[in-house]
Amino acid sequence: MKKHIIYLFTLGLITLLMAGCDVQPNGPEDQKDISIYAVLSKVNGNWQISNITLTPLQGYVNNNGISVNLTTSQALVDTTSIKGCFGFVILKNTGIKDINCDKSSKKLFRYQRLDIISNIMGTVGTVGLNVAMGQYAYDSVFDYSKFNNTLAEAKKAAGITRQVLHNISEVYYRMPKVCTIESQKLKTFYNQPMVDAIQVIDQSGLAKIHRPPAILLEREISYDPISNACHQFKSVYGKVYPSIDALSGELVTLLENSSGIPESQQAGFITLECVMPENPNRNNYNIKIVCKKMNFLKGKLDKNITYNLTSRKFTHKEIFHYINSDRFIDLVYDGELMKMRNKTEEFMRLEAFSAYLNQQVVTESEAYKVQFPLELPPLGTIKVSVLKKYALNFPNITEMTMTKIRKFKAKFGFAVKYSLIKSNIKNTLFKRIDIPQNRFLIPYKI
């Protein structure tokens, strides 16, 4: 029995001395560097580093991984010694064997250490009972030395050096500063008057004759690499990367895109969409707007917006108005309505009606919106929408340019057959006119 007590005392003393030699955690490699976290795990017998992130990780990962801070080389688990891990032992030639100990001793980088103080105190009080039952006290201790060596080897295998971590920190700290500076540049750039960047082109050739519309544009940013990069930078904090190169690569790319420096990569350019506001007063112009990439590096707006007056839209009222009369009747067509006025003091009967445009003649009653014959009272006037929409094949006058105007030709007119009931006078009023080109230049107002 004395031999057993001496054996336990010696074992506990050795363990106590060894505890005094435990290696403590490595200190921070660079307090200014950001903390980069990862998982140190054993894969196929080899220790590897994965799940790189800027978000703090804590604890053990499954049964084969441990959260670590790569920057400080610290284990992100509870590394304090856990007392009171009791186990039953059998004293045989094979030594001490653990039969039932707390699960904390099974965690990665932990081992059991005999608590010599607790055992000595317990042995003094109950020597016979402890020896008879074979029960002794143990501590669960974190093995700093093994952890530090394992992490160092895994970092080396993954190419994670102090310089690599420092470079990532440099990029990380520069991003917010760059984003603030560039955002201010962009704000100044956007606040410049839009008209400074607009180049007006009169492709229609009519701007000197018909007043061009006021330039009304709205800016919509379709792609801005700087704002885009700064926005993406905010999401880096929550991402998990497979390797340190993946994290470093994304940060460097975002920094380049946000700095506005590499002009060859057009990082200093933005693309705007120029949008015409709803219902602008265009003065019937057809306008094509082209927005090119705009360089804010120069501190001013280039003439990157083309405001092209491609053509002008004319209405039938402007071009196809028509007047004809005799001593008995007036015909006035304003492009939509036909006004027929009886100039006599007796009833007039409109017998038939025809419309003419170049070689086209419309006489069929189904082509009209009113049914003939019609009767007009003395000195009476009637306004009717005469022609149906496609009764005549009118030329397209909605995209006119000076070149098209010079080539424009149209012969247009009407014929009406009428009779005066009391005087028994029958007559036909008919005239066709060549639409003058100056109607496009100085629109006639009815």
Domain boundaries defined on the chain: 2-160, 163-312, 316-441
pLDDT surpasses 80 at 324: yes
> How many C-beta neighbours within 10 Å does residue 400 have?
22
316-441 fold = Immunoglobulin-like (2.60.40)
Average pLDDT, integer, range 333-362? 91
- Asked if the model's pLDDT at residue 21 lies above 60, the reply is no
Reply yes or no on whether the pLDDT at 237 is more than 60. Answer: yes
Q: How confident is the model over 404-411, as a mean pLDDT?
A: 95
> Which one, of 28, 107, 112, 132, lies nearest residue 71 by Cα?
28
Tokens of 179: 């984003």
Q: Report how far residue 92's alpha carbon sits from residue 321's, in angstroms, rounded to the nearest whole number.
A: 123
Question: Averaged over 187-216, what is the pLDDT?
Answer: 76
CB crowding 116-134: b at 16 or more within 10 Å, else e: bebbbebbeeeeeebbeee
pLDDT over threshold 80, residue 241: yes
Share of the chain above pLDDT 70, in %: 62
pLDDT (average), residues 421-439: 93
DSSP string of 10-78? HHHHHHHHHHTTPPPPPPPS-TTSPP-EEEEEEETTEEEEEEEESS---SEETTTEEEEETTTTEE-S-
* SS3 state of residue 404: helix
The C-alpha atoms of residue 143 and residue 18 are separated, in whole angstroms, by: 11
Digit-coded pLDDT (tens) for 130-185: 443 444 566 778 889 999 999 999 999 989 988 888 888 888 877 776 666 666 66
pTM of the model: 0.48
pLDDT at 357: 93
**Is the model more confident about 237 or about 14?**
237
